[in-house]
Amino acid sequence: MGFIEFVNTGSHRPGAFGEIFVMFNVRAFCLGKAHEEVIKTIVRHGTFLVTEDGEKTLELPEPFNIHVGTPFEDYMVSPYNMFGERAMGQYVHDLLNGSESDFVYTYHDRLFDYPRRDDIGSMRGDGRGDGIDQVAYIIEKLRSDPTSRRAEGITWFPEYDAVSKNPPCLQRIQCMTRDGVLNMHVEFRSNDMLSALGANMYALAHLQKHIADTLSLSVGWYSHTSVSAHLYYERDHEELMKYVNGLGLADLIKKLDNCAYISI
C-alpha cells in the first residue's frame, strides 16, 4: 500500500510560563510507519527531563495518541527497530501464552490471570493460576452484547503496584465491535517510545487478532495512548541514531545536544 496518512495536530495554548503545549496525534496505515512518525515527533517537540530514577529522557509535554487503521498491513516493524520479526514473535508468544520470566509482573498474567483473593483471603492469580481471565471476559462480553462499551481489561493492582518500584506501564485495553470488525484501544501511563513501543504495538495487535479470531471477526483499527511518551536519550542514544540517520533527523539532534535537562 502506497498511501500514508499522517496527522500531527493539536490544540495550542500557552502554558504557565508562556510555553506552547500541543496534543499530538499520529495516524498511519501500518505499525512500522506509526513508530517512525512517533520518533520524529518526539525528536521535534520533546523536552528534556531527568526522571525520579535518574534517567535522562526526552518527553512530549502532553499525552500522545497513535491510530493505525490496518495494524496488520506491511510493514509491522520499522527497519530501524533493534528487534526483528523473530524477537517480536517471541514477545507475542509471551503475551498470549505466558513466560518463565522472574519479573515482578507480566502483561500476560495481569490480563489472563489478574490477581484476586479467595474466600479465605489467600492470593490467587498473577501467574499462580485461578485468577481472573480478563481476555475471556472481553470475548464473552462482546459475544453476548456486540455493542458493549464495557469490554475492557486492566493491569494495575493497587495492593501490589502502589508500592512497587516496577509497576505496569500498560494500564488498560478496551475492545469494541463496530461494523463487523474488532477495534482495540490501549493506554499506557508511561511508554518508552523508542525501544518498547514497536514491540508493545506488535504484541497488542496480535492480542487484538486473537480476540477477533475467537469472535470470528476481522481486525479493525488499533489505537494507542501514551500519557508520558518519552525516549531514553542517553541510555539508548545508539539505538536512537538508527532512526535519526534513517529518517533524516540529524540537524534536530544537533540542536537537542545543546539543550539543558530539567529534573523532577
The DSSP-derived string for 211-246 is: HHHHTT-EEEEEEEEEEEEEEETTTTHHHHHHHHHH
CA–CA distance, 93 with 212 (Å, rounded to integer): 17
> Phi and psi for 242 in degrees, rounded to 5?
-65, -40
CA–CA distance, 38 with 95 (Å, rounded to integer): 23
Terminal CA-CA length for the chain: 44
Which triple of cell numbers denotes residue 236? 539508548
Residues carrying an active site annotation:
169
Q: Which residues contact 36 (CB under 8 A, 6 or more apart)?
A: 78, 80, 243, 247
**173 strand-pairing partners:** 153, 186
The Cβ of residue 62 has, within 10 Å, a number of other Cβ atoms equal to 16
Which triple of cell numbers denotes residue 221? 483499527
Q: Which residues contact 133 (CB under 8 A, 6 or more apart)?
A: 112, 113, 114
